[in-house]
């Protein structure tokens, strides 16, 4: 399975944007890039996903590099409720393969 690399942690001030990078240099042509987040004591929650084009939804934006070897999740205005572990996942044929994720800390 293709692997992703993320920083262990990132810190942001409240109401500032957060840019979470993810490297996936071994991505295959059919892999979708998914992002999930996990709040303490909760199951993972879907954030966004894409294949080639940048994507926007009410939670975040996903910017995908032209060669698809990296992507960035953008939280436009961080709130305290955005403090969570964010997972970048390459989804191939059904299953989601999680890595260690990035712990996002939001300070007021």
Partner 1 sequence: GAGVSQSPRYKVAKRGQDVALRCDPISGHVSLFWYQQALGQGPEFLTYFQNEAQLDKSGLPSDRFFAERPEGSVSTLKIQRTQQEDSAVYLCASSSRGSMNTEAFFGQGTRLTVV
Minimum CB distance to partner 1, residue 78 (Å): 22
Q: What whole-number distance in Å separates Cα of residue 96 and Cα of residue 22?
A: 15
Q: What whole-number distance in Å separates Cα of residue 28 and Cα of residue 69?
A: 9
Site for partner 1 in 28-87 (CB under 8 A): 30-32, 34, 36, 41-46, 49, 51, 85, 87
Beta-carbon contacts of 104 under 8 Å, excluding residues fewer than 6 positions away, are 9, 10, 11, 12, 18, 20, 75, 78, 82, 83, 84, 85, 86
The token pair that represents 79 in the structure block: 């709130």
Task: Decide: helix, strand or coil at residue 82.
Answer: helix
Minimum CB distance to partner 1, residue 49 (Å): 7
By beta-carbon proximity to partner 1, the closer residue of 9 and 13 is 9
Minimum CB distance to partner 1, residue 96 (Å): 6
96 near partner 1, judged by CB under 8 A: yes
Residues at the site binding partner 1, with contacts judged by CB under 8 A:
30-32, 34, 36, 41-46, 49, 51, 85, 87, 91-101
């Amino acid at each position: 399975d293709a692997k992703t690399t993320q920083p262990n942690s990132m810190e942001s001030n409240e109401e500032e944007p957060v840019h979470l990078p993810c490297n996936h240099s071994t991505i295959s042509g059919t892999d979708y890039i998914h992002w999930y987040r996990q709040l303490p004591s909760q199951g993972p929650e879907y954030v966004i996903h894409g294949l080639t084009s940048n994507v926007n939804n009410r939670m975040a934006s996903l910017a995908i590099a032209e060669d698809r070897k990296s992507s960035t999740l953008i939280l436009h205005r961080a709130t305290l409720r955005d403090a969570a572990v964010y997972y970048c996942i390459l989804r191939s044929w059904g299953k989601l393969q999680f890595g260690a994720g990035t712990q996002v800390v939001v300070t007021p």
